[in-house]
Chain A
Amino acid sequence: MKIVPKKPDRSLVAPTREIVKLERRLFLKQGLSLGALTLLSGCNVTDGDAVQKVLSQMSRWNDGVQAAIFDPARLAQEYPESAITKPFPFNAFYAESAAPRVDAAGYKLELSGLIRDKAPWTLDKLYALPQTSQVTRHICVEGWSAIGKWGGVTFRTFLEQIGADLTAKYVGFKCADDYYTSIDMPTALHPQTLLTFKFADELLPASYGFPMKLRIPTKLGFKNPKHIAAMFVTNDYPGGYWEDQGYNWFSGS
């Protein structure tokens, strides 16, 4: 008779333990392949799939976070004129030669929405508002940046002048090049947000947004509309040309 050393009965214990281990391993494996799957399916952001929904929701959440950390009193750094980038890069969703030629004489800025005095504004009337200038860094969503000098009226002054509802959520812009975008009211009221008519002390050339560009040094470049033809104040989310395609709406700096 063989003497069997006393051991726990592995035929009973081991299988359960193995199953637990296997389950744990499968769970991790599935978790990893799920991660890999989301990586693959996420490659096409135009897919109306679940991944895209989550990413879009995260972008809305990021809008909220940025609104919360936006300090209305914090100023973007201003630079000496010697720091101005020359030549200042052209940037739009079309080639420089396609920039719209707006007729100055026939131009009128259209106003609508939550604004008391919606009378359109001629350029002469806009030029008669108190003018100021700034040398600030334009940061593109692509990652490059350039320093420029813009001159015009503090946007807050203009909004007060037209009797805009300063408690509304958004200011929207429609542009002569079919571009459109919108910004939050706190940014619209920021002291460095300017409705500009000049670049480097000269009237804005067509490629830089004649007759006017809203210069917002606390937002990325694409949030700075050029060739503005109409603006409106609203509480309904207006979106934007790039924002509707997936760029983050707030895009604060």
Chain B
Amino acid sequence: MATETATTGGQRILVHPLMVRITHWINVVAMLIMIFSGWRIYNASPIFDFKFPVDLTLGGWLGGALQWHFAAMWVLAFNGLAYLLYGIFAGHFRKDFLPLTPRAIFNEFKKALHGKIAHEVGVYNAVQRAAYVGVIAVVVVLVLSGLVVWKPVQFQGLGAVMGGFEGARIVHFFAMSLVVLFIFVHVVMVALVPRTFLPMLTGHAKNDSHGQGS
């Protein structure tokens, strides 16, 4: 986003429009509830040979975790839907995530390995674009596989492409894992470049870093 807002004594640009900020923070709350209650649900019948630490789970018991999960899913889904519609129709996806080519991702990644990362305020580099587009796609898969686990008979057509109820559970688990991985990297990146944090609250940032940094 590079809508310019001229202010006295310096150029501040709108990095994140209001709609992106609102849906981002609603998503943070909804996604955390979904993950921590989901871990409790997983623990009731683990797919793999491990359980999540109970202290990191939400709900107190399976029934409580399911209540949280089935309540927050509506917040996650409708907030996500609002974001997708905004992204498509207000041009957010086109302006901020495109163009996106494998070559650009590869080049950016190579540069990053040499410690040369572009920090252009309000412009995502190719690796960031790939990460954001990727996590949006993963959340879509997470929601769809969740629908199949929730209603395997009613959504059996959708379930068929995931290997039915049991397959959808595994898809749901790995989609969750990818989202958790994304959150981890995302939070680490913000911690490494803290000035990217405030614009997700205020929307604006000072345009003080042009072009390539090192």
Contact = CB atoms under 8 A, between A and B. Distances in A.
Q: Do A and B come from one complex?
A: yes
Interface of A: 7-8, 21, 24-25, 28, 31-32, 35, 39, 42-46, 54-56, 58-59, 62, 66, 69-71, 74-77, 137, 139-145, 217-218, 242, 245-248, 252-253
B25 interface: yes
A65 to B, nearest CB: 9
B117 to A, nearest CB: 28
Contacts, number: 104
Contacts of A137: 152, 165
Given A42-B59, A139-B165, A28 B25 contact: yes
Q: Which secondary structure dominates chain B's binding surface? A: helix
Residue of A8, A55, A248 ringed by the most chain B CB atoms within 10 A: A55
B74 interface: yes
Given A39-B32, A45-B61, A143-B44, A28 B201 contact: yes
Interface in B19-46: 25, 29, 32-33, 36, 41-42, 44-45
B63 A144 contact: no
B64 interface: yes
A250 B76 CA distance: 22
Interface string B33-73: 10010000110110100000000001111111011101100
Q: Which secondary structure dominates chain A's binding surface? A: loop
A139 B164 CA distance: 12
B154 A59 contact: no
8 contacts: A31-B25, A42-B64, A43-B64, A74-B154, A137-B152, A145-B165, A218-B153, A248-B67
B120 interface: no
A69 B153 contact: no
Contact of A35 (B29, B71, B201): B29
A39 B61 contact: no
A71 B62 contact: no
Contacts of B154: 69-71, 74, 252-253
Contact of B67 (A24, A143, A246): A246
A127 B139 CA distance: 50
